[in-house]
Structure 1
Amino acid sequence: MAAGKKHVSTAIPTRYECSLHGLLATAQEPQLRTRLEALCGDTTAAHRELHHEIACVPCVETPAGPLRREDHMLRLRIELDPDDPGDADRAANTVCFLGPPEPRSGRGASVRPVVYAQVFSGNAPQFLSLLGYRFHSEFVRKGYWFLYRGAFKVIVSQVYRLAEEGNVHSAEPVDPAGSWLVQVAADATGQEQVPRVCEQLDELKALFGDHVELVVVDHAFLENKITYSH
Protein backbone atom coordinates (compact mmCIF):
# COMPACT_ATOMS: atom_id res chain seq x y z
CA MET A 1 0.00 0.00 0.00
CA ALA A 2 1.42 3.37 -1.01
CA ALA A 3 2.21 5.75 1.80
CA GLY A 4 0.23 8.99 1.84
CA LYS A 5 2.06 12.27 1.36
CA LYS A 6 2.57 14.31 4.47
CA HIS A 7 1.34 17.86 4.08
CA VAL A 8 3.93 20.48 4.95
CA SER A 9 2.62 23.95 5.70
CA THR A 10 4.41 26.78 3.88
CA ALA A 11 2.48 29.56 5.60
CA ILE A 12 4.55 32.44 6.95
CA PRO A 13 4.26 32.48 10.77
CA THR A 14 2.61 35.58 12.14
CA ARG A 15 4.98 37.99 13.88
CA TYR A 16 3.95 40.75 16.25
CA GLU A 17 5.32 44.22 16.91
CA CYS A 18 5.16 45.42 20.52
CA SER A 19 5.70 49.14 21.09
CA LEU A 20 5.28 52.20 23.28
CA HIS A 21 5.05 55.81 22.12
CA GLY A 22 5.64 59.26 23.53
CA LEU A 23 5.77 62.93 22.55
CA LEU A 24 8.86 64.97 23.39
CA ALA A 25 9.22 68.76 23.46
CA THR A 26 12.14 70.24 21.54
CA ALA A 27 13.85 71.51 24.69
CA GLN A 28 13.87 68.01 26.24
CA GLU A 29 15.42 66.19 23.28
CA PRO A 30 19.11 66.79 24.20
CA GLN A 31 18.56 65.39 27.71
CA LEU A 32 16.83 62.29 26.34
CA ARG A 33 19.64 61.72 23.88
CA THR A 34 22.21 61.94 26.67
CA ARG A 35 20.15 59.44 28.66
CA LEU A 36 20.03 57.05 25.71
CA GLU A 37 23.78 57.28 25.19
CA ALA A 38 24.30 56.29 28.84
CA LEU A 39 21.76 53.45 28.77
CA CYS A 40 22.82 51.97 25.43
CA GLY A 41 26.57 52.35 25.87
CA ASP A 42 26.90 54.07 22.51
CA THR A 43 30.17 55.98 22.56
CA THR A 44 29.75 57.25 19.00
CA ALA A 45 26.99 59.22 17.34
CA ALA A 46 23.47 57.79 17.33
CA HIS A 47 22.34 55.82 14.32
CA ARG A 48 20.87 58.44 11.98
CA GLU A 49 17.84 57.68 9.87
CA LEU A 50 15.84 59.23 7.08
CA HIS A 51 12.74 57.35 5.97
CA HIS A 52 10.34 58.20 3.17
CA GLU A 53 7.15 56.21 3.73
CA ILE A 54 4.47 55.85 1.06
CA ALA A 55 1.03 54.46 1.90
CA CYS A 56 -0.70 52.54 -0.90
CA VAL A 57 -4.29 51.34 -1.27
CA PRO A 58 -5.95 48.92 -3.73
CA CYS A 59 -6.49 50.38 -7.20
CA VAL A 60 -9.96 48.82 -7.33
CA GLU A 61 -12.32 49.59 -4.47
CA THR A 62 -14.05 46.60 -2.97
CA PRO A 63 -17.84 47.07 -3.13
CA ALA A 64 -19.46 48.21 0.12
CA GLY A 65 -20.03 45.28 2.43
CA PRO A 66 -18.23 42.88 4.79
CA LEU A 67 -15.53 42.03 2.22
CA ARG A 68 -14.09 45.52 2.62
CA ARG A 69 -12.74 44.46 5.99
CA GLU A 70 -10.27 42.23 4.14
CA ASP A 71 -8.73 45.17 2.25
CA HIS A 72 -5.30 46.15 3.51
CA MET A 73 -3.11 49.21 3.15
CA LEU A 74 0.50 48.52 2.24
CA ARG A 75 3.41 50.84 2.95
CA LEU A 76 6.61 51.27 1.01
CA ARG A 77 9.33 52.31 3.44
CA ILE A 78 12.35 53.81 1.68
CA GLU A 79 15.43 54.15 3.86
CA LEU A 80 17.57 56.98 2.45
CA ASP A 81 21.11 58.14 3.07
CA PRO A 82 20.77 61.21 5.37
CA ASP A 83 23.83 62.79 3.72
CA ASP A 84 22.56 62.23 0.17
CA PRO A 85 18.79 61.59 0.03
CA GLY A 86 18.82 61.71 -3.76
CA ASP A 87 21.12 58.70 -4.12
CA ALA A 88 18.62 56.04 -5.24
CA ASP A 89 21.33 53.38 -5.46
CA ARG A 90 21.85 53.50 -1.69
CA ALA A 91 18.13 53.47 -0.82
CA ALA A 92 16.72 50.36 0.88
CA ASN A 93 13.10 49.55 -0.01
CA THR A 94 10.80 47.53 2.25
CA VAL A 95 7.13 46.68 1.73
CA CYS A 96 5.36 46.80 5.10
CA PHE A 97 2.04 45.41 6.23
CA LEU A 98 0.89 46.68 9.63
CA GLY A 99 -2.05 44.64 10.83
CA PRO A 100 -4.89 45.75 13.13
CA PRO A 101 -3.72 46.40 16.69
CA GLU A 102 -5.01 44.34 19.58
CA PRO A 103 -8.05 46.04 21.13
CA ARG A 104 -7.69 44.17 24.43
CA SER A 105 -6.65 46.11 27.52
CA GLY A 106 -4.15 45.15 30.16
CA ARG A 107 -1.13 44.85 27.90
CA GLY A 108 1.99 46.79 28.77
CA ALA A 109 2.44 47.81 25.12
CA SER A 110 0.65 48.24 21.79
CA VAL A 111 0.58 44.93 19.89
CA ARG A 112 -0.11 44.33 16.21
CA PRO A 113 0.85 41.75 13.55
CA VAL A 114 3.44 42.92 11.02
CA VAL A 115 5.05 41.64 7.83
CA TYR A 116 8.18 43.21 6.34
CA ALA A 117 9.43 42.23 2.88
CA GLN A 118 12.59 43.87 1.55
CA VAL A 119 12.78 44.62 -2.16
CA PHE A 120 16.37 43.84 -3.13
CA SER A 121 16.24 44.87 -6.79
CA GLY A 122 14.02 46.46 -9.40
CA ASN A 123 11.49 49.27 -9.12
CA ALA A 124 9.70 49.01 -5.77
CA PRO A 125 6.81 51.42 -6.58
CA GLN A 126 6.23 49.57 -9.85
CA PHE A 127 6.17 46.29 -7.91
CA LEU A 128 3.36 47.63 -5.72
CA SER A 129 1.53 48.78 -8.85
CA LEU A 130 1.73 45.24 -10.23
CA LEU A 131 0.26 44.00 -6.96
CA GLY A 132 -2.76 46.20 -7.69
CA TYR A 133 -1.94 49.13 -5.40
CA ARG A 134 -1.78 52.88 -5.97
CA PHE A 135 -0.39 55.91 -4.15
CA HIS A 136 -2.47 57.22 -1.25
CA SER A 137 -0.28 59.42 0.95
CA GLU A 138 3.30 59.88 2.14
CA PHE A 139 5.50 61.41 4.82
CA VAL A 140 9.16 61.63 5.79
CA ARG A 141 10.65 60.72 9.16
CA LYS A 142 14.00 62.19 10.20
CA GLY A 143 15.88 61.40 13.38
CA TYR A 144 18.02 58.77 15.04
CA TRP A 145 17.77 55.52 16.95
CA PHE A 146 19.52 53.49 19.63
CA LEU A 147 19.39 49.77 20.32
CA TYR A 148 18.78 48.94 23.98
CA ARG A 149 19.81 45.50 25.31
CA GLY A 150 20.16 44.32 21.73
CA ALA A 151 16.40 43.89 21.42
CA PHE A 152 14.57 47.22 21.84
CA LYS A 153 14.86 49.93 19.21
CA VAL A 154 14.38 53.45 20.55
CA ILE A 155 13.50 55.79 17.67
CA VAL A 156 13.52 59.56 18.20
CA SER A 157 12.26 61.37 15.12
CA GLN A 158 10.33 64.24 13.61
CA VAL A 159 7.65 63.86 10.94
CA TYR A 160 7.55 65.93 7.75
CA ARG A 161 5.00 66.39 5.00
CA LEU A 162 6.06 66.80 1.38
CA ALA A 163 5.09 70.03 -0.36
CA GLU A 164 5.84 68.33 -3.69
CA GLU A 165 4.75 64.73 -4.17
CA GLY A 166 7.69 62.34 -4.09
CA ASN A 167 10.30 65.06 -3.50
CA VAL A 168 11.97 64.55 -0.11
CA HIS A 169 13.81 67.86 -0.54
CA SER A 170 10.43 69.63 -0.23
CA ALA A 171 9.85 68.22 3.27
CA GLU A 172 8.22 70.58 5.76
CA PRO A 173 7.71 69.83 9.48
CA VAL A 174 4.22 68.71 10.44
CA ASP A 175 4.62 70.36 13.83
CA PRO A 176 6.09 73.90 13.56
CA ALA A 177 7.00 73.70 17.27
CA GLY A 178 9.50 70.98 16.43
CA SER A 179 8.27 68.29 18.82
CA TRP A 180 9.76 64.79 18.60
CA LEU A 181 8.08 61.40 18.49
CA VAL A 182 9.62 58.64 20.59
CA GLN A 183 8.89 55.00 19.79
CA VAL A 184 10.30 52.03 21.67
CA ALA A 185 9.68 48.84 19.73
CA ALA A 186 10.76 45.24 20.10
CA ASP A 187 11.77 43.13 17.14
CA ALA A 188 8.80 41.34 15.57
CA THR A 189 8.23 38.28 17.72
CA GLY A 190 6.11 35.14 17.86
CA GLN A 191 2.81 35.16 19.72
CA GLU A 192 4.17 33.10 22.60
CA GLN A 193 6.77 35.78 23.41
CA VAL A 194 4.34 38.72 23.30
CA PRO A 195 3.33 38.69 27.01
CA ARG A 196 6.96 38.74 28.22
CA VAL A 197 8.00 41.43 25.72
CA CYS A 198 5.07 43.61 26.80
CA GLU A 199 6.16 43.21 30.43
CA GLN A 200 9.71 44.26 29.53
CA LEU A 201 8.47 47.32 27.64
CA ASP A 202 6.28 48.27 30.58
CA GLU A 203 9.37 48.10 32.82
CA LEU A 204 11.27 50.40 30.43
CA LYS A 205 8.89 53.29 31.10
CA ALA A 206 10.68 54.12 34.33
CA LEU A 207 14.02 54.54 32.53
CA PHE A 208 12.68 57.43 30.47
CA GLY A 209 10.14 58.85 32.91
CA ASP A 210 12.19 61.98 33.68
CA HIS A 211 12.25 62.96 30.00
CA VAL A 212 9.24 61.50 28.16
CA GLU A 213 6.08 59.65 29.13
CA LEU A 214 5.80 56.41 27.16
CA VAL A 215 2.24 55.18 26.77
CA VAL A 216 0.17 52.44 25.18
CA VAL A 217 -1.53 54.22 22.29
CA ASP A 218 -5.26 53.67 21.95
CA HIS A 219 -5.70 51.00 19.29
CA ALA A 220 -8.09 53.27 17.36
CA PHE A 221 -5.16 55.57 16.49
CA LEU A 222 -3.09 52.67 15.12
CA GLU A 223 -5.76 51.24 12.86
CA ASN A 224 -4.67 50.63 9.28
CA LYS A 225 -8.13 51.13 7.81
CA ILE A 226 -8.68 52.27 4.23
CA THR A 227 -11.03 55.23 3.87
CA TYR A 228 -12.98 54.92 0.64
CA SER A 229 -14.62 57.84 -1.10
CA HIS A 230 -18.09 56.28 -0.75
Structure 2
Amino acid sequence: MATGKKHTNAGVTHYECSLHGLLNNDHEPQLRTRLEALCGDTESAHRELHHEISCIPCVETPIGPLRREDHVLRLRIEMDPKDPLNPNKAANTICLLGHPEPRSGRGASVRPAIFAQVFSGNAPQFLSLLGYKYNSEFVRKGYWFLYRNTFKIIVSQIYQLEEEGSVQSAQLADPQGSWIVQVSADALSQEQVPRMCEQLDELKSLFEDYVELVVVDHAFLESKIPYN
Protein backbone atom coordinates (compact mmCIF):
# COMPACT_ATOMS: atom_id res chain seq x y z
CA MET A 1 0.00 0.00 0.00
CA ALA A 2 1.21 3.50 -0.75
CA THR A 3 1.92 5.67 2.23
CA GLY A 4 2.20 9.41 2.56
CA LYS A 5 4.83 10.66 4.99
CA LYS A 6 4.74 14.15 6.38
CA HIS A 7 7.36 16.68 5.51
CA THR A 8 7.37 20.47 5.83
CA ASN A 9 3.76 21.71 5.42
CA ALA A 10 2.68 18.32 4.01
CA GLY A 11 -0.88 17.34 4.79
CA VAL A 12 -1.55 20.86 6.11
CA THR A 13 -4.05 23.14 4.42
CA HIS A 14 -2.50 26.21 2.89
CA TYR A 15 -3.84 28.70 0.37
CA GLU A 16 -2.67 28.81 -3.22
CA CYS A 17 -2.68 32.38 -4.54
CA SER A 18 -2.14 32.58 -8.29
CA LEU A 19 -2.33 34.52 -11.54
CA HIS A 20 -2.51 33.00 -15.01
CA GLY A 21 -1.80 34.11 -18.56
CA LEU A 22 -1.69 32.72 -22.09
CA LEU A 23 1.61 33.29 -23.88
CA ASN A 24 2.01 33.31 -27.66
CA ASN A 25 4.65 30.82 -28.78
CA ASP A 26 6.61 33.58 -30.53
CA HIS A 27 6.98 35.49 -27.25
CA GLU A 28 8.22 32.57 -25.12
CA PRO A 29 11.97 33.13 -25.77
CA GLN A 30 11.69 36.80 -24.73
CA LEU A 31 9.80 35.91 -21.55
CA ARG A 32 12.41 33.30 -20.65
CA THR A 33 15.17 35.88 -21.10
CA ARG A 34 13.23 38.23 -18.85
CA LEU A 35 12.84 35.55 -16.18
CA GLU A 36 16.54 34.73 -16.31
CA ALA A 37 17.30 38.41 -15.68
CA LEU A 38 14.84 38.62 -12.79
CA CYS A 39 15.62 35.30 -11.10
CA GLY A 40 19.25 34.65 -11.97
CA ASP A 41 21.10 33.16 -14.90
CA THR A 42 20.14 30.16 -17.03
CA GLU A 43 21.06 27.82 -14.16
CA SER A 44 18.12 29.14 -12.15
CA ALA A 45 15.59 27.52 -14.50
CA HIS A 46 14.11 24.18 -13.43
CA ARG A 47 12.57 21.75 -15.91
CA GLU A 48 8.88 21.01 -15.43
CA LEU A 49 7.62 17.60 -16.55
CA HIS A 50 4.72 15.92 -14.86
CA HIS A 51 1.85 13.58 -15.60
CA GLU A 52 -1.32 14.50 -13.73
CA ILE A 53 -4.21 12.07 -13.27
CA SER A 54 -7.51 13.30 -11.86
CA CYS A 55 -9.65 10.84 -9.89
CA ILE A 56 -13.26 11.07 -8.72
CA PRO A 57 -15.26 9.09 -6.11
CA CYS A 58 -16.35 5.62 -7.23
CA VAL A 59 -19.72 6.08 -5.49
CA GLU A 60 -21.87 8.97 -6.69
CA THR A 61 -23.11 11.24 -3.91
CA PRO A 62 -26.90 11.76 -4.18
CA ILE A 63 -28.01 15.11 -5.59
CA GLY A 64 -28.07 17.68 -2.81
CA PRO A 65 -25.82 19.94 -0.72
CA LEU A 66 -23.51 17.06 0.27
CA ARG A 67 -22.22 16.93 -3.31
CA ARG A 68 -20.27 20.10 -2.65
CA GLU A 69 -18.17 18.15 -0.16
CA ASP A 70 -16.97 15.85 -2.96
CA HIS A 71 -13.55 16.69 -4.37
CA VAL A 72 -11.35 15.63 -7.23
CA LEU A 73 -8.10 14.04 -6.07
CA ARG A 74 -5.14 14.52 -8.36
CA LEU A 75 -2.16 12.22 -8.60
CA ARG A 76 0.77 14.34 -9.74
CA ILE A 77 3.65 12.26 -11.08
CA GLU A 78 6.77 14.39 -11.42
CA MET A 79 9.01 12.67 -13.94
CA ASP A 80 12.76 12.94 -14.32
CA PRO A 81 13.25 14.93 -17.57
CA LYS A 82 16.40 12.92 -18.30
CA ASP A 83 14.67 9.57 -17.79
CA PRO A 84 10.90 10.23 -17.94
CA LEU A 85 9.78 6.62 -18.41
CA ASN A 86 11.62 5.33 -15.35
CA PRO A 87 9.03 5.01 -12.53
CA ASN A 88 11.80 4.65 -9.94
CA LYS A 89 12.85 8.25 -10.63
CA ALA A 90 9.33 9.68 -10.43
CA ALA A 91 7.91 11.54 -7.41
CA ASN A 92 4.22 10.94 -6.66
CA THR A 93 2.07 13.50 -4.87
CA ILE A 94 -1.64 13.36 -4.08
CA CYS A 95 -3.19 16.83 -4.40
CA LEU A 96 -6.49 18.15 -3.11
CA LEU A 97 -7.35 21.58 -4.49
CA GLY A 98 -10.39 23.00 -2.74
CA HIS A 99 -13.10 25.36 -3.95
CA PRO A 100 -11.70 28.76 -4.97
CA GLU A 101 -12.83 31.92 -3.24
CA PRO A 102 -15.75 33.49 -5.13
CA ARG A 103 -15.10 36.91 -3.62
CA SER A 104 -14.14 39.64 -6.05
CA GLY A 105 -11.54 42.33 -5.48
CA ARG A 106 -8.60 40.02 -4.74
CA GLY A 107 -5.38 40.58 -6.64
CA ALA A 108 -5.13 36.84 -7.32
CA SER A 109 -7.13 33.61 -7.43
CA VAL A 110 -7.23 31.90 -4.02
CA ARG A 111 -8.04 28.31 -3.15
CA PRO A 112 -7.14 25.95 -0.30
CA ALA A 113 -4.74 23.14 -1.11
CA ILE A 114 -3.37 20.03 0.55
CA PHE A 115 -0.44 17.99 -0.78
CA ALA A 116 0.71 14.57 0.44
CA GLN A 117 3.77 12.98 -1.09
CA VAL A 118 3.67 9.22 -1.67
CA PHE A 119 7.02 7.68 -0.79
CA SER A 120 6.40 3.99 -1.44
CA GLY A 121 4.00 1.50 -2.96
CA ASN A 122 1.49 1.84 -5.78
CA ALA A 123 -0.04 5.32 -5.72
CA PRO A 124 -2.96 4.60 -8.15
CA GLN A 125 -3.86 1.52 -6.12
CA PHE A 126 -3.80 3.61 -2.95
CA LEU A 127 -6.30 6.03 -4.51
CA SER A 128 -8.48 3.07 -5.47
CA LEU A 129 -8.45 1.92 -1.85
CA LEU A 130 -9.56 5.41 -0.86
CA GLY A 131 -12.64 4.92 -3.05
CA TYR A 132 -11.51 6.87 -6.11
CA LYS A 133 -11.37 6.00 -9.81
CA TYR A 134 -9.68 7.38 -12.92
CA ASN A 135 -11.32 10.38 -14.59
CA SER A 136 -8.84 12.16 -16.88
CA GLU A 137 -5.16 12.95 -17.36
CA PHE A 138 -2.67 15.23 -19.07
CA VAL A 139 1.06 15.95 -19.23
CA ARG A 140 2.57 19.35 -18.49
CA LYS A 141 5.99 20.17 -19.89
CA GLY A 142 8.04 23.33 -19.57
CA TYR A 143 10.14 25.05 -16.92
CA TRP A 144 9.84 27.15 -13.78
CA PHE A 145 11.69 29.86 -11.89
CA LEU A 146 11.55 30.93 -8.27
CA TYR A 147 11.35 34.68 -7.74
CA ARG A 148 12.31 36.22 -4.39
CA ASN A 149 12.27 32.71 -2.90
CA THR A 150 8.48 33.02 -2.73
CA PHE A 151 6.83 33.20 -6.15
CA LYS A 152 6.93 30.17 -8.43
CA ILE A 153 6.65 31.09 -12.11
CA ILE A 154 5.72 28.11 -14.30
CA VAL A 155 5.84 28.38 -18.09
CA SER A 156 4.48 25.21 -19.65
CA GLN A 157 2.52 23.54 -22.41
CA ILE A 158 -0.26 20.98 -21.97
CA TYR A 159 -0.21 17.64 -23.73
CA GLN A 160 -3.13 15.25 -24.22
CA LEU A 161 -2.63 11.49 -24.08
CA GLU A 162 -3.98 9.63 -27.08
CA GLU A 163 -3.75 6.34 -25.18
CA GLU A 164 -4.85 6.13 -21.54
CA GLY A 165 -1.85 5.96 -19.24
CA SER A 166 0.67 6.15 -22.10
CA VAL A 167 2.94 9.17 -21.68
CA GLN A 168 4.63 8.24 -24.97
CA SER A 169 1.35 9.03 -26.79
CA ALA A 170 1.24 12.63 -25.53
CA GLN A 171 0.42 15.23 -28.18
CA LEU A 172 0.43 19.01 -27.82
CA ALA A 173 -3.11 20.10 -26.89
CA ASP A 174 -2.92 23.51 -28.59
CA PRO A 175 -1.84 23.26 -32.25
CA GLN A 176 -0.70 26.90 -32.08
CA GLY A 177 1.84 25.96 -29.41
CA SER A 178 0.67 28.52 -26.84
CA TRP A 179 2.20 28.46 -23.37
CA ILE A 180 0.44 28.79 -20.02
CA VAL A 181 2.10 31.08 -17.50
CA GLN A 182 1.22 30.59 -13.85
CA VAL A 183 2.64 32.72 -11.05
CA SER A 184 1.76 31.36 -7.62
CA ALA A 185 2.65 31.62 -3.96
CA ASP A 186 1.50 29.80 -0.86
CA ALA A 187 -0.09 31.53 2.11
CA LEU A 188 0.18 29.35 5.20
CA SER A 189 -2.85 30.96 6.84
CA GLN A 190 -5.88 33.06 5.93
CA GLU A 191 -4.18 36.05 7.54
CA GLN A 192 -1.36 35.91 4.96
CA VAL A 193 -3.69 35.77 1.94
CA PRO A 194 -4.41 39.52 1.50
CA ARG A 195 -0.73 40.50 1.50
CA MET A 196 0.23 37.63 -0.83
CA CYS A 197 -2.48 38.68 -3.29
CA GLU A 198 -1.28 42.28 -3.16
CA GLN A 199 2.27 41.21 -3.96
CA LEU A 200 1.11 39.06 -6.88
CA ASP A 201 -0.90 41.96 -8.24
CA GLU A 202 2.21 44.13 -8.08
CA LEU A 203 4.23 41.52 -10.01
CA LYS A 204 2.00 41.75 -13.08
CA SER A 205 3.81 44.83 -14.33
CA LEU A 206 7.07 42.85 -14.61
CA PHE A 207 5.59 40.70 -17.38
CA GLU A 208 3.15 43.04 -19.11
CA ASP A 209 5.36 43.37 -22.23
CA TYR A 210 5.06 39.62 -22.84
CA VAL A 211 1.91 38.22 -21.24
CA GLU A 212 -1.17 39.53 -19.48
CA LEU A 213 -1.55 37.89 -16.08
CA VAL A 214 -5.13 37.81 -14.83
CA VAL A 215 -7.28 36.54 -11.98
CA VAL A 216 -9.08 33.49 -13.37
CA ASP A 217 -12.83 33.40 -12.79
CA HIS A 218 -13.45 31.08 -9.84
CA ALA A 219 -15.94 29.06 -11.94
CA PHE A 220 -13.05 27.77 -14.07
CA LEU A 221 -11.09 26.62 -11.01
CA GLU A 222 -13.96 24.73 -9.37
CA SER A 223 -13.20 21.06 -8.66
CA LYS A 224 -16.60 19.89 -9.79
CA ILE A 225 -17.18 16.15 -10.07
CA PRO A 226 -18.36 15.26 -13.59
CA TYR A 227 -21.02 12.77 -12.47
CA ASN A 228 -23.02 11.33 -15.38
TM range (shorter): over 0.9
Paired position in structure 2 for 1:59: 58
Paired position in structure 2 for 1:217: 216
By how many angstroms is 1:137 displaced? 0.2
Paired position in structure 1 for 2:139: 140
**Where does 1:166-177 land on structure 2 (aligned, <5 Å)?**
166-177=165-176
Residues 103-161 of structure 1 deviation map (CA, whole Å, 9 limit, x = unaligned): 00110000000000000111100110000000000000000000000000000000000
By how many angstroms is 1:188 displaced? 4.5
Paired position in structure 1 for 2:31: 32
Paired position in structure 2 for 1:199: 198
Counterpart CA distance in 1 for 2:93 and 2:13 is 18
SS, match of residue 119 in structure 1: strand
SS, match of residue 101 in structure 2: coil
Paired position in structure 2 for 1:130: 129
Paired position in structure 1 for 2:5: none
Counterpart CA distance in 1 for 2:79 and 2:121 is 16
TM-score norm. by structure 2 comes to 0.93
Contact 1:49 1:81 in 2 (8 A): no
Q: Sequence identity, in percent?
A: 76
**Where does 1:40-119 land on structure 2 (aligned, <5 Å)?**
40-44=39-43, 46-119=45-118
TM-score norm. by structure 1 comes to 0.92
SS, match of residue 120 in structure 1: strand
| 5+ residue gaps, structure 1 | 1-11
**Corresponding pairs, count:** 218
The more displaced of 18-27 and 83-92 is 83-92
The more displaced of 43-52 and 115-124 is 43-52
| C-alpha RMSD over aligned residues | 1.1
Moved over 6 A (4+): none
Contact 1:25 1:180 in 2 (8 A): yes
Counterpart CA distance in 2 for 1:72 and 1:160 is 24
